[in-house]
Protein backbone atom coordinates (compact mmCIF):
# COMPACT_ATOMS: atom_id res chain seq x y z
CA UNK A 1 0.00 0.00 0.00
CA UNK A 2 1.08 3.54 -0.48
CA UNK A 3 2.30 5.50 2.53
CA UNK A 4 -0.67 7.84 2.42
CA UNK A 5 -3.10 4.99 2.55
CA UNK A 6 -1.19 3.10 5.25
CA UNK A 7 -1.72 6.05 7.58
CA UNK A 8 -5.31 6.71 6.65
CA UNK A 9 -7.65 5.86 9.51
CA UNK A 10 -10.99 4.19 8.99
CA UNK A 11 -11.93 1.32 6.74
CA UNK A 12 -8.77 0.91 4.65
CA UNK A 13 -6.46 -2.00 5.44
CA UNK A 14 -3.19 -1.00 7.05
CA UNK A 15 0.17 -2.71 6.74
CA UNK A 16 -0.33 -4.16 10.24
CA UNK A 17 -3.58 -5.96 9.34
CA UNK A 18 -3.47 -9.74 9.31
CA UNK A 19 -3.34 -11.19 5.80
CA UNK A 20 -5.41 -14.20 6.84
CA UNK A 21 -9.09 -14.49 6.00
CA UNK A 22 -11.37 -13.67 8.92
CA UNK A 23 -13.90 -16.06 10.41
CA UNK A 24 -16.67 -13.89 8.96
CA UNK A 25 -15.26 -14.37 5.45
CA UNK A 26 -15.15 -18.14 5.95
CA UNK A 27 -18.72 -17.96 7.25
CA UNK A 28 -19.63 -15.97 4.13
CA UNK A 29 -18.23 -18.77 1.95
CA UNK A 30 -20.73 -21.25 3.39
CA UNK A 31 -23.46 -19.57 1.35
CA UNK A 32 -21.54 -20.43 -1.78
CA UNK A 33 -21.26 -24.07 -0.78
CA UNK A 34 -25.05 -24.08 -0.95
CA UNK A 35 -25.05 -22.00 -4.15
CA UNK A 36 -22.73 -24.44 -5.91
CA UNK A 37 -24.98 -27.37 -4.97
CA UNK A 38 -27.91 -25.52 -6.58
CA UNK A 39 -25.87 -24.88 -9.73
CA UNK A 40 -24.74 -28.53 -9.88
CA UNK A 41 -28.27 -29.83 -9.38
CA UNK A 42 -29.60 -27.52 -12.07
CA UNK A 43 -26.89 -28.74 -14.47
CA UNK A 44 -27.65 -32.38 -13.67
CA UNK A 45 -31.27 -31.69 -14.61
CA UNK A 46 -30.10 -29.95 -17.79
CA UNK A 47 -28.02 -32.97 -18.84
CA UNK A 48 -30.65 -35.60 -18.05
CA UNK A 49 -34.21 -34.32 -18.37
CA UNK A 50 -33.90 -31.61 -21.04
CA UNK A 51 -31.62 -32.95 -23.75
CA UNK A 52 -33.65 -31.38 -26.56
CA UNK A 53 -32.96 -27.92 -25.15
CA UNK A 54 -29.61 -28.63 -23.52
CA UNK A 55 -27.69 -25.70 -24.97
CA UNK A 56 -30.28 -23.12 -23.96
CA UNK A 57 -30.82 -24.64 -20.50
CA UNK A 58 -27.09 -25.00 -19.79
CA UNK A 59 -26.56 -21.45 -21.05
CA UNK A 60 -29.13 -20.18 -18.58
CA UNK A 61 -27.38 -22.03 -15.74
CA UNK A 62 -24.08 -20.51 -16.87
CA UNK A 63 -25.52 -16.99 -16.62
CA UNK A 64 -26.74 -17.65 -13.08
CA UNK A 65 -23.33 -19.07 -12.14
CA UNK A 66 -21.50 -16.07 -13.61
CA UNK A 67 -23.65 -13.70 -11.57
CA UNK A 68 -22.92 -15.61 -8.35
CA UNK A 69 -19.19 -15.71 -9.11
CA UNK A 70 -19.13 -11.95 -9.62
CA UNK A 71 -20.75 -11.48 -6.19
CA UNK A 72 -18.06 -13.60 -4.54
CA UNK A 73 -15.07 -12.14 -6.37
CA UNK A 74 -16.16 -8.52 -5.77
CA UNK A 75 -16.52 -9.30 -2.07
CA UNK A 76 -13.04 -10.84 -2.01
CA UNK A 77 -11.61 -7.71 -3.65
CA UNK A 78 -13.42 -5.48 -1.15
CA UNK A 79 -12.08 -7.35 1.90
CA UNK A 80 -8.58 -7.41 0.37
CA UNK A 81 -8.62 -3.61 0.12
CA UNK A 82 -10.68 -2.67 3.16
CA UNK A 83 -10.34 -3.88 6.73
CA UNK A 84 -12.77 -6.80 7.30
CA UNK A 85 -12.44 -6.30 11.08
CA UNK A 86 -14.13 -2.89 10.87
CA UNK A 87 -17.87 -2.98 11.78
CA UNK A 88 -18.82 -1.11 8.60
CA UNK A 89 -17.11 -3.69 6.38
CA UNK A 90 -18.52 -6.55 8.41
CA UNK A 91 -21.97 -5.10 7.77
CA UNK A 92 -21.19 -5.09 4.04
CA UNK A 93 -20.11 -8.75 4.15
CA UNK A 94 -23.20 -9.85 6.11
CA UNK A 95 -25.51 -7.92 3.78
CA UNK A 96 -23.83 -9.47 0.75
CA UNK A 97 -24.12 -12.87 2.38
CA UNK A 98 -27.87 -12.47 2.74
CA UNK A 99 -28.27 -11.28 -0.85
CA UNK A 100 -26.18 -14.20 -2.15
CA UNK A 101 -28.32 -16.61 -0.11
CA UNK A 102 -31.48 -15.24 -1.74
CA UNK A 103 -29.87 -15.61 -5.16
CA UNK A 104 -28.85 -19.20 -4.42
CA UNK A 105 -32.35 -20.11 -3.24
CA UNK A 106 -33.74 -18.67 -6.50
CA UNK A 107 -31.27 -20.55 -8.75
CA UNK A 108 -33.42 -23.65 -9.52
CA UNK A 109 -36.14 -21.40 -11.01
CA UNK A 110 -33.88 -18.43 -11.65
CA UNK A 111 -34.87 -18.27 -15.30
CA UNK A 112 -38.53 -18.90 -14.58
CA UNK A 113 -40.85 -17.76 -11.84
CA UNK A 114 -37.98 -16.65 -9.58
CA UNK A 115 -36.24 -14.50 -12.20
CA UNK A 116 -37.32 -11.23 -10.57
CA UNK A 117 -36.14 -12.42 -7.14
CA UNK A 118 -32.73 -13.42 -8.55
CA UNK A 119 -32.20 -10.19 -10.47
CA UNK A 120 -33.43 -7.87 -7.71
CA UNK A 121 -31.27 -9.63 -5.09
CA UNK A 122 -28.24 -9.38 -7.40
CA UNK A 123 -28.75 -5.68 -8.10
CA UNK A 124 -29.70 -4.80 -4.52
CA UNK A 125 -26.57 -6.30 -3.01
CA UNK A 126 -24.25 -4.83 -5.67
CA UNK A 127 -25.77 -1.35 -5.72
CA UNK A 128 -26.33 -1.27 -1.96
CA UNK A 129 -22.79 -2.39 -1.21
CA UNK A 130 -21.28 0.09 -3.66
CA UNK A 131 -23.33 2.99 -2.30
CA UNK A 132 -22.43 2.05 1.28
CA UNK A 133 -18.71 1.93 0.44
CA UNK A 134 -18.99 5.30 -1.30
CA UNK A 135 -20.42 6.79 1.90
CA UNK A 136 -17.94 5.24 4.36
CA UNK A 137 -14.84 5.53 2.15
CA UNK A 138 -14.01 9.17 2.75
CA UNK A 139 -10.76 9.66 0.85
CA UNK A 140 -11.05 7.47 -2.25
CA UNK A 141 -14.51 7.38 -3.76
CA UNK A 142 -13.38 7.06 -7.37
CA UNK A 143 -13.78 3.27 -7.75
CA UNK A 144 -17.15 3.03 -5.91
CA UNK A 145 -18.50 5.89 -8.08
CA UNK A 146 -17.31 4.22 -11.29
CA UNK A 147 -18.73 0.88 -10.22
CA UNK A 148 -22.08 2.42 -9.30
CA UNK A 149 -22.36 4.01 -12.76
CA UNK A 150 -21.59 0.72 -14.53
CA UNK A 151 -23.99 -1.20 -12.30
CA UNK A 152 -26.66 1.35 -13.13
CA UNK A 153 -26.11 0.60 -16.83
CA UNK A 154 -26.36 -3.15 -16.40
CA UNK A 155 -29.39 -2.82 -14.11
CA UNK A 156 -31.53 -1.91 -17.12
CA UNK A 157 -31.18 -5.24 -18.99
CA UNK A 158 -31.21 -7.16 -15.70
CA UNK A 159 -34.59 -5.70 -14.71
CA UNK A 160 -36.17 -5.72 -18.16
CA UNK A 161 -35.08 -9.31 -18.61
CA UNK A 162 -36.50 -10.30 -15.22
CA UNK A 163 -39.96 -8.84 -15.82
CA UNK A 164 -40.21 -10.15 -19.39
CA UNK A 165 -42.01 -13.48 -19.79
CA UNK A 166 -40.14 -14.48 -22.96
CA UNK A 167 -37.30 -16.80 -21.85
CA UNK A 168 -35.39 -16.18 -25.08
CA UNK A 169 -35.49 -12.41 -24.70
CA UNK A 170 -34.61 -12.75 -21.02
CA UNK A 171 -31.52 -14.76 -21.98
CA UNK A 172 -30.45 -12.08 -24.47
CA UNK A 173 -30.96 -9.21 -22.01
CA UNK A 174 -29.21 -11.01 -19.16
CA UNK A 175 -26.32 -11.90 -21.44
CA UNK A 176 -25.93 -8.20 -22.25
CA UNK A 177 -26.12 -7.40 -18.53
CA UNK A 178 -23.48 -9.93 -17.49
CA UNK A 179 -21.20 -8.79 -20.33
CA UNK A 180 -21.50 -5.22 -19.06
CA UNK A 181 -20.66 -6.32 -15.52
CA UNK A 182 -17.65 -8.39 -16.54
CA UNK A 183 -16.57 -6.00 -19.26
CA UNK A 184 -16.57 -3.11 -16.82
CA UNK A 185 -14.38 -5.04 -14.41
CA UNK A 186 -11.90 -5.96 -17.18
CA UNK A 187 -11.75 -2.40 -18.53
CA UNK A 188 -11.46 -0.80 -15.09
CA UNK A 189 -14.94 0.80 -15.17
CA UNK A 190 -14.03 3.67 -17.52
CA UNK A 191 -16.16 6.80 -17.52
CA UNK A 192 -16.15 9.68 -20.04
CA UNK A 193 -13.19 12.11 -19.90
CA UNK A 194 -11.56 10.24 -16.99
CA UNK A 195 -10.96 6.85 -18.61
CA UNK A 196 -10.45 3.64 -16.59
CA UNK A 197 -9.51 3.49 -12.93
CA UNK A 198 -5.71 3.67 -12.45
CA UNK A 199 -4.99 0.12 -11.22
CA UNK A 200 -1.47 1.03 -10.11
CA UNK A 201 -2.99 3.26 -7.43
CA UNK A 202 -5.40 0.68 -6.01
CA UNK A 203 -3.66 -1.15 -3.14
CA UNK A 204 -4.80 -4.62 -2.09
CA UNK A 205 -3.67 -7.21 0.44
CA UNK A 206 -2.14 -9.68 -2.00
CA UNK A 207 -1.67 -12.59 0.38
CA UNK A 208 -5.23 -12.24 1.60
CA UNK A 209 -6.68 -12.20 -1.92
CA UNK A 210 -4.61 -15.23 -2.92
CA UNK A 211 -5.85 -17.13 0.12
CA UNK A 212 -9.46 -16.26 -0.74
CA UNK A 213 -9.11 -17.69 -4.26
CA UNK A 214 -7.49 -20.82 -2.86
CA UNK A 215 -10.28 -21.19 -0.31
CA UNK A 216 -13.02 -20.87 -2.91
CA UNK A 217 -11.41 -23.50 -5.11
CA UNK A 218 -11.25 -25.82 -2.11
CA UNK A 219 -14.92 -25.09 -1.45
CA UNK A 220 -15.70 -26.15 -5.02
CA UNK A 221 -13.73 -29.37 -4.54
CA UNK A 222 -15.68 -29.88 -1.32
CA UNK A 223 -18.93 -29.51 -3.23
CA UNK A 224 -17.65 -32.22 -5.59
CA UNK A 225 -17.05 -34.50 -2.61
CA UNK A 226 -20.62 -33.76 -1.51
CA UNK A 227 -21.96 -34.77 -4.94
CA UNK A 228 -19.93 -37.99 -4.91
CA UNK A 229 -21.07 -38.91 -1.41
CA UNK A 230 -24.74 -38.09 -1.88
CA UNK A 231 -24.91 -39.91 -5.21
CA UNK A 232 -23.14 -43.03 -4.00
CA UNK A 233 -25.03 -43.15 -0.70
CA UNK A 234 -28.25 -43.52 -2.67
CA UNK A 235 -26.89 -46.36 -4.80
CA UNK A 236 -26.03 -49.99 -4.14
CA UNK A 237 -22.49 -51.15 -3.39
CA UNK A 238 -22.30 -53.00 -6.69
CA UNK A 239 -18.83 -53.40 -8.18
CA UNK A 240 -19.46 -51.03 -11.11
CA UNK A 241 -20.86 -48.23 -8.96
CA UNK A 242 -18.19 -48.69 -6.28
CA UNK A 243 -15.46 -48.52 -8.93
CA UNK A 244 -16.93 -45.33 -10.37
CA UNK A 245 -17.17 -43.89 -6.87
CA UNK A 246 -13.45 -44.56 -6.31
CA UNK A 247 -12.51 -43.06 -9.67
CA UNK A 248 -14.58 -39.95 -8.93
CA UNK A 249 -12.82 -39.49 -5.60
CA UNK A 250 -9.42 -40.01 -7.24
CA UNK A 251 -10.29 -37.42 -9.90
CA UNK A 252 -11.11 -34.86 -7.22
CA UNK A 253 -7.76 -35.52 -5.52
CA UNK A 254 -5.98 -35.08 -8.86
CA UNK A 255 -7.76 -31.77 -9.49
CA UNK A 256 -6.52 -30.58 -6.08
CA UNK A 257 -3.00 -31.76 -6.84
CA UNK A 258 -2.80 -30.17 -10.28
CA UNK A 259 -4.11 -26.83 -8.97
CA UNK A 260 -1.78 -26.47 -6.01
CA UNK A 261 1.38 -27.72 -7.72
CA UNK A 262 3.73 -24.74 -7.88
CA UNK A 263 1.40 -21.98 -9.13
CA UNK A 264 -1.29 -22.65 -6.52
CA UNK A 265 1.23 -22.56 -3.69
CA UNK A 266 3.05 -19.48 -5.02
CA UNK A 267 -0.03 -17.38 -5.76
CA UNK A 268 0.41 -15.15 -2.65
CA UNK A 269 3.98 -14.31 -3.66
CA UNK A 270 2.95 -13.76 -7.27
CA UNK A 271 0.28 -11.19 -6.37
CA UNK A 272 2.47 -9.28 -3.90
CA UNK A 273 5.41 -9.11 -6.34
CA UNK A 274 3.37 -8.17 -9.42
CA UNK A 275 3.94 -4.69 -10.86
CA UNK A 276 0.18 -4.03 -10.74
CA UNK A 277 -1.24 -6.19 -7.91
CA UNK A 278 -4.83 -4.97 -8.34
CA UNK A 279 -4.86 -5.76 -12.05
CA UNK A 280 -3.20 -9.11 -11.39
CA UNK A 281 -5.80 -9.88 -8.73
CA UNK A 282 -8.64 -9.16 -11.15
CA UNK A 283 -7.05 -11.38 -13.81
CA UNK A 284 -6.93 -14.20 -11.24
CA UNK A 285 -10.69 -14.04 -11.10
CA UNK A 286 -11.01 -15.21 -14.71
CA UNK A 287 -8.55 -18.10 -14.55
CA UNK A 288 -10.21 -19.32 -11.34
CA UNK A 289 -13.61 -18.90 -12.96
CA UNK A 290 -12.62 -21.40 -15.67
CA UNK A 291 -11.15 -23.84 -13.17
CA UNK A 292 -14.13 -23.66 -10.83
CA UNK A 293 -16.59 -24.05 -13.71
CA UNK A 294 -14.58 -27.08 -14.83
CA UNK A 295 -14.77 -28.63 -11.37
CA UNK A 296 -18.53 -28.04 -11.19
CA UNK A 297 -19.01 -29.67 -14.60
CA UNK A 298 -16.80 -32.58 -13.55
CA UNK A 299 -18.94 -33.05 -10.44
CA UNK A 300 -22.03 -33.30 -12.67
CA UNK A 301 -20.19 -36.03 -14.55
CA UNK A 302 -19.63 -37.85 -11.24
CA UNK A 303 -23.36 -38.12 -10.65
CA UNK A 304 -24.02 -39.30 -14.20
CA UNK A 305 -21.27 -41.93 -14.13
CA UNK A 306 -22.03 -43.25 -10.61
CA UNK A 307 -25.75 -43.50 -11.40
CA UNK A 308 -25.28 -45.03 -14.88
CA UNK A 309 -21.82 -46.67 -14.83
CA UNK A 310 -22.40 -49.33 -17.51
CA UNK A 311 -25.17 -47.76 -19.57
CA UNK A 312 -24.77 -46.20 -23.00
CA UNK A 313 -22.87 -42.89 -22.84
CA UNK A 314 -25.02 -40.08 -24.15
CA UNK A 315 -22.98 -37.68 -26.33
CA UNK A 316 -24.07 -34.73 -24.18
CA UNK A 317 -22.66 -36.41 -21.08
CA UNK A 318 -19.17 -36.02 -22.52
CA UNK A 319 -19.50 -32.26 -21.98
CA UNK A 320 -19.27 -33.00 -18.25
CA UNK A 321 -17.06 -36.10 -18.07
CA UNK A 322 -14.39 -34.84 -20.50
CA UNK A 323 -15.38 -31.20 -20.93
CA UNK A 324 -15.17 -30.50 -17.20
CA UNK A 325 -11.53 -31.65 -16.84
CA UNK A 326 -10.66 -29.91 -20.14
CA UNK A 327 -12.11 -26.60 -18.91
CA UNK A 328 -10.21 -27.00 -15.65
CA UNK A 329 -6.92 -27.61 -17.50
CA UNK A 330 -7.56 -24.60 -19.76
CA UNK A 331 -8.07 -22.39 -16.70
CA UNK A 332 -5.05 -23.96 -15.02
CA UNK A 333 -2.90 -23.19 -18.09
CA UNK A 334 -4.03 -19.55 -17.99
CA UNK A 335 -3.35 -19.47 -14.24
CA UNK A 336 0.16 -20.84 -14.77
CA UNK A 337 0.87 -18.19 -17.37
CA UNK A 338 -0.33 -15.47 -15.00
CA UNK A 339 2.08 -16.68 -12.31
CA UNK A 340 5.12 -17.78 -14.37
CA UNK A 341 4.61 -16.20 -17.84
CA UNK A 342 4.76 -19.71 -19.34
CA UNK A 343 2.59 -22.80 -19.76
CA UNK A 344 3.77 -26.35 -19.08
CA UNK A 345 3.53 -28.83 -21.94
CA UNK A 346 1.64 -31.21 -19.67
CA UNK A 347 -1.35 -28.82 -19.57
CA UNK A 348 -1.47 -28.59 -23.36
CA UNK A 349 -0.90 -32.33 -23.68
CA UNK A 350 -3.75 -33.06 -21.28
CA UNK A 351 -6.14 -30.84 -23.24
CA UNK A 352 -5.16 -32.47 -26.54
CA UNK A 353 -5.56 -35.95 -25.05
CA UNK A 354 -9.08 -35.19 -23.81
CA UNK A 355 -10.07 -33.88 -27.24
CA UNK A 356 -8.60 -36.88 -29.08
CA UNK A 357 -10.29 -39.32 -26.71
CA UNK A 358 -13.77 -37.88 -27.28
CA UNK A 359 -14.80 -39.85 -30.41
CA UNK A 360 -13.78 -43.19 -28.88
CA UNK A 361 -15.58 -42.40 -25.63
CA UNK A 362 -18.91 -42.44 -27.47
CA UNK A 363 -18.50 -46.22 -27.79
CA UNK A 364 -17.80 -47.05 -24.13
CA UNK A 365 -19.87 -46.75 -20.92
CA UNK A 366 -19.54 -43.84 -18.44
CA UNK A 367 -17.28 -45.93 -16.18
CA UNK A 368 -14.68 -46.11 -18.96
CA UNK A 369 -15.08 -42.41 -19.78
CA UNK A 370 -14.49 -41.35 -16.17
CA UNK A 371 -11.49 -43.70 -16.00
CA UNK A 372 -9.99 -42.13 -19.13
CA UNK A 373 -10.45 -38.60 -17.76
CA UNK A 374 -8.81 -39.62 -14.47
CA UNK A 375 -5.91 -41.19 -16.39
CA UNK A 376 -5.29 -37.94 -18.27
CA UNK A 377 -5.27 -35.90 -15.04
CA UNK A 378 -2.98 -38.48 -13.43
CA UNK A 379 -0.56 -38.13 -16.36
CA UNK A 380 -0.56 -34.34 -15.92
CA UNK A 381 0.08 -34.67 -12.18
CA UNK A 382 2.89 -37.19 -12.82
CA UNK A 383 4.52 -34.89 -15.38
CA UNK A 384 4.40 -32.07 -12.81
CA UNK A 385 6.06 -34.26 -10.19
CA UNK A 386 8.82 -35.40 -12.56
CA UNK A 387 9.50 -31.82 -13.66
CA UNK A 388 9.83 -30.72 -10.03
CA UNK A 389 12.30 -33.52 -9.28
CA UNK A 390 14.50 -32.46 -12.21
CA UNK A 391 14.53 -28.85 -11.08
CA UNK A 392 17.55 -28.00 -8.90
CA UNK A 393 16.27 -24.62 -7.69
CA UNK A 394 12.74 -23.62 -6.64
CA UNK A 395 11.02 -21.61 -9.36
CA UNK A 396 10.14 -18.04 -8.46
CA UNK A 397 6.95 -16.36 -9.74
CA UNK A 398 7.45 -14.05 -12.73
CA UNK A 399 3.97 -12.61 -13.39
CA UNK A 400 3.74 -10.78 -16.73
CA UNK A 401 1.28 -8.22 -15.27
Supply the CATH number for residue 346's domain. 1.20.1410
Q: Is residue 160 part of a domain?
A: yes
Residues 192 and 218 in one domain: no
- 3 state SS of 225: helix
Confidence of residue 3 (pLDDT cuts 50, 70, 90): very low
Residues 170 and 229 in one domain: no
Residues 54 and 124 in one domain: yes
Q: Is residue 110 part of a domain?
A: yes
- pLDDT of 17 reads 64
- pLDDT of 48 reads 80
Q: Is residue 173 part of a domain?
A: yes
Contact yes or no for 297/226 (Cβ under 8 A): no
The whole-angstrom separation of Cα 299 and Cα 301 is: 5
Burial 266-277 (b: 16+ CB within 10 A, else e): bbbbbbbebebb
Confidence of residue 245 (pLDDT cuts 50, 70, 90): very high
Contact yes or no for 248/306 (Cβ under 8 A): yes
pLDDT digits (tens, 9 = 90+) for 125-172: 999 998 888 887 766 677 788 888 999 999 999 999 999 988 889 999
pLDDT digits (tens, 9 = 90+) for 169-218: 999 999 999 999 999 888 888 888 777 776 555 667 778 888 999 999 99
Residue 46 belongs to domain spanning: 3-201
The whole-angstrom separation of Cα 22 and Cα 87 is: 13
Largest CA distance in the chain: 67
Residues 384 and 279 in one domain: yes
Phi-psi region at 161: left, alpha or beta (left = phi > 0; alpha = psi -120 to 50): alpha
Confidence of residue 1 (pLDDT cuts 50, 70, 90): very low
Residues 235 and 114 in one domain: no
Last residue of a domain, one of 169, 201, 233: 201
Number of domains in the chain: 2
Could you tell me how many helices (H) and strands (E) the chain has, helices first? 15, 0
Q: Is residue 397 part of a domain?
A: no
Confidence of residue 51 (pLDDT cuts 50, 70, 90): low
Last residue of a domain, one of 178, 201, 224: 201
Residues 167 and 261 in one domain: no
Contact yes or no for 332/347 (Cβ under 8 A): yes
Residues 41 and 170 in one domain: yes
* Residues near 277 by beta carbon (within 8 Å), at least 6 away in sequence: 203, 204, 206, 271
Last residue of a domain, one of 145, 168, 201: 201
322/3: higher pLDDT: 322
Output the CA–CA distances (angstroms, integers) from residue 38 to 58, 295, 373, in the order listed: 13, 14, 25
Average confidence score pLDDT of the chain: 88
Which candidate, 338, 323, 331, places its Cα nearest to that of 376?
Answer: 323
- pLDDT of 140 reads 67
Q: Is residue 399 part of a domain?
A: no
Residue 39 has pLDDT above 70, yes or no: yes
Q: Is residue 68 part of a domain?
A: yes
The whole-angstrom separation of Cα 305 and Cα 48 is: 12
Output the CA–CA distances (angstroms, integers) from residue 266 to 349, 359, 397, in the order listed: 23, 37, 7
The whole-angstrom separation of Cα 260 and Cα 263 is: 6
CA contacts within 13 A on the Cβ side of 38? 20
280/247: higher pLDDT: 247
Residues 364 and 240 in one domain: yes
Whether the pTM exceeds 0.85: the reply is: yes
Residues 270 and 170 in one domain: no
Which candidate, 310, 284, 298, places its Cα nearest to that of 354?
Answer: 298
* Residues near 381 by beta carbon (within 8 Å), at least 6 away in sequence: 254, 257, 258, 261
- pLDDT of 10 reads 59
Q: Is residue 164 part of a domain?
A: yes
Residues 8 and 137 in one domain: yes
Residues 348 and 210 in one domain: yes
User: Directed axis angle between helix 54-81 and helix 277-307, to 10°?
Assistant: 140
Q: Is residue 400 part of a domain?
A: no
Residue 23 sits at the vertex; the CA angle it makes with 18 and 27, to the nearest 5 degrees, is 140
The whole-angstrom separation of Cα 291 and Cα 335 is: 9
- pLDDT of 2 reads 39
Contact yes or no for 254/373 (Cβ under 8 A): no
Residues 75 and 100 in one domain: yes
Strand partners, 191: 195
Residue 301 has pLDDT above 50, yes or no: yes
- pLDDT of 139 reads 65
Amino acid sequence: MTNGEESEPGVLRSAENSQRATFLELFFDLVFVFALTRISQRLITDFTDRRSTLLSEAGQTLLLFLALWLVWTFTALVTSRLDPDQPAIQLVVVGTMFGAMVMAVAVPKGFGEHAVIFAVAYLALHLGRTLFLFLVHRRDRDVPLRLFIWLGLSAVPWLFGAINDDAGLRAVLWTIAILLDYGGAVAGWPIPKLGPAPTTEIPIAGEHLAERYQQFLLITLGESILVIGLTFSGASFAVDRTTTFLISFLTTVLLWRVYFHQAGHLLPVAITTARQPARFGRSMSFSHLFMIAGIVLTAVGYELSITHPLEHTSPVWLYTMLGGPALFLAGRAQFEYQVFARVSRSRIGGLIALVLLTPAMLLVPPLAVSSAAAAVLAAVALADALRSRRRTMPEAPTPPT
